[in-house]
Amino acid sequence: MAILCLSDLPMIGSALTQERVKVLPMLTIYRRHIKTCSHRSEGRKYRRCHCPIWVDGFLDGQQNRKALRDPDRRSSIRDWQKAQDTVREWESENKITQGPEASPITIKECSEKFTADAQARHLRSPSLYKYRLLFRQLQDFADQRGFRYLNEFGLDQWREFRATWPNKNVSALKKLGYLRTFLRFCHDNGWYPENYGHKLGNPRITQRPTMPFTQDEMVKILAASKPGSRVRALVLPLRYIGLRIQDAVTLECNRVSNGGLLLYTHKTNVPVYCPLPEFVVNALEAILPRSEYYFWTGHGKPKSVTSYWQRRLQKLFVGAGVPSGHAHRFRDTFAVELLLAGIPIERVATLLGHTSIKTTERHYAPWTHSRQAQLESDVRRAWSADPVVSTETKGTPQVHGTKQRAN
C-alpha cells in the first residue's frame, strides 16, 4: 500500500488507479476575507482580521473546502485558536466530528440578537425604537405567509415585505437603510448565505425645498403668543438659536449664561454655542421653571414632552393664520437668515450642530448668498456668447462689443 502526501497527488497517473492509495490527512485553515475587509488584498496569509475562517484539504480521502461553523452559536468560527483545535480533532480522528447541522435561526432570534448588539453599541433610543418597529412588522409579515426561519426569505420575499411599508419618500429610504443594516448583520454572523440588502433598490426621492418663515409670518406668530407666556419663550430660542424641538424643550436652565447658550445636541451629540439676543434671555428668565429645565419637569420621556409642545405650537400656528407652520421651520429660518447675510455655510453648519457640512449643503445650499451670486454671474456670462441676446439687447460697447445696434 502506497502512502502519499497531499503534494504527491498530482503525480498519480492511471498506472496507480489499481493500487490502494492512502492520503495522509492534511487540512489548512485560512481567513476568507469579506468584501469590506481592508486586508482582502493580502490574501490567505493575513489572519489577524475578524473574517470567517475556512478549511481546505483532504480528509479520509475526500477533499473538503468549507466554512468552519460553530454548531452552538450557529455562526461561522472566527477565533483562530478555536479553528485550529477543531481541525486537529478532525485530523486525529480522520473524520469530521462537527456533529449534525444546527437548525436554522428563526426571525425572532436574529431580531433579538441584533437588538442586543445595538444596545451594546449604545445606539440612541429613537434608533432602537425604529429597529423594534421594523422587526414587529417583519414578524407580522412572516406570520401572514407562514414563515418562521430567516433562510425562508429570498429576494422576492424581501421585496414583498418592502412593498407593505406605508412610508414614502425620505422615510422609506431611511427604513430601507435599517433593513440593509440588519441583513448585513445576519450575513456577517453566518446565518444567511447571501446579503440581499444591496439588491434592494432605493426608492425615488422627491426632495422638498426648505421653506423658512417669512418676516410677515414671524410677526403673526409672535403676535398670537402672549408676552410672558411659556409658548412665546419657546418660540424665541427656536427662531434665534436654531434648536431642534427636542433640544429646546429639554433645555437646562444652567445652559444659558453670559448672554449665550452652550449645549450638546440630542441627535448628533455635537457641542453648540450661540449668542442670544437680550430679549430672548429676558423671555426665558421671565418664566418660572418647574425644575432644572425651562419647559420640562424632568420626568417622563423626552419624546413625550416633545410631542406635547409640538401640539401646543400647532395650535399657535393655526391661531396665527400660518397653518403650514411646524417647529423645524424656525430652524430653517435661523439658517437661511444667516446664509442670506453672507455667513459662510461652514460656520452655519457649526451653529446648527451638523457633523458634516454635506448635511447643511443638502438642505440650505440654494440659499447661500455667494453661491446664488456665482450662479447668476455664470448665467449672465453665458448670455455674452449668445448672438440672439447680443442682437436683441441694447447696451454699451463695453458690454456687447464693437458690433451692436445703435442706441
Q: What is the pLDDT of residues 385-398, one digit of tens each?
A: 777 766 766 554 44
Q: Are 182 and 151 in contact (CB under 8 A)?
A: no
> Do residues 6 and 144 share a domain?
no
> Do residues 32 and 123 share a domain?
no
How many C-beta atoms surround the C-beta of residue 56 within 10 A?
A: 15
> Do residues 220 and 347 share a domain?
yes
Instruction: Quote the pLDDT of residue 63.
Output: 82
Q: Long-range contacts made by residues 269-274, C-beta under 8 angstroms, separation at least 24?
A: 270/353, 270/354, 270/355, 271/353, 272/350, 272/351, 272/352, 272/353, 274/241, 274/242, 274/351
Q: What is the pLDDT of residues 345-387, one digit of tens each?
A: 888 888 887 877 787 777 776 666 656 666 677 777 777 777 7
Domain boundary among 135, 165, 199: 199
How many distinct structural domains can be found in the chain? 3
The pLDDT of residue 74 is above 80? no
Choose among 96, 82, 94: nearest CA to 22.
Answer: 94
> Do residues 137 and 223 share a domain?
no
Q: How many CA atoms does the CB half-sphere of 165 hold within 13 Å?
A: 21
∠ Cα 246 247 251 (to 5°): 115
Instruction: Quote the pLDDT of residue 72.
Output: 55
> Do residues 56 and 178 share a domain?
no
Instruction: Quote the pLDDT of residue 380.
Output: 79
Domain boundary among 350, 367, 384: 367
Domain boundary among 71, 93, 115: 93
Percent of the chain with pLDDT over 70: 81
> Do residues 138 and 227 share a domain?
no
Length of the chain: 407
Q: What is the pLDDT of residues 261-320, one digit of tens each?
A: 876 665 666 677 788 888 888 888 888 777 889 999 888 888 899 999 999 999 999 999
Whether 209 is covered by a domain: the verdict is: no
Where in the sequence is the domain holding 300, given as residue range(s)?
215-367
Q: Which of these ranges, 207-211, 223-227, 400-404, has the smallest mean pLDDT? A: 400-404
Instruction: Quote the pLDDT of residue 263.
Output: 67
> Do residues 227 and 361 share a domain?
yes
The pLDDT of residue 399 is above 50? no
Helix, strand, coil fractions of the chain, as percent rounded to 5: 50, 10, 35
Q: Is 362 helix (H, G, I), strand (E, B) or coil?
A: helix
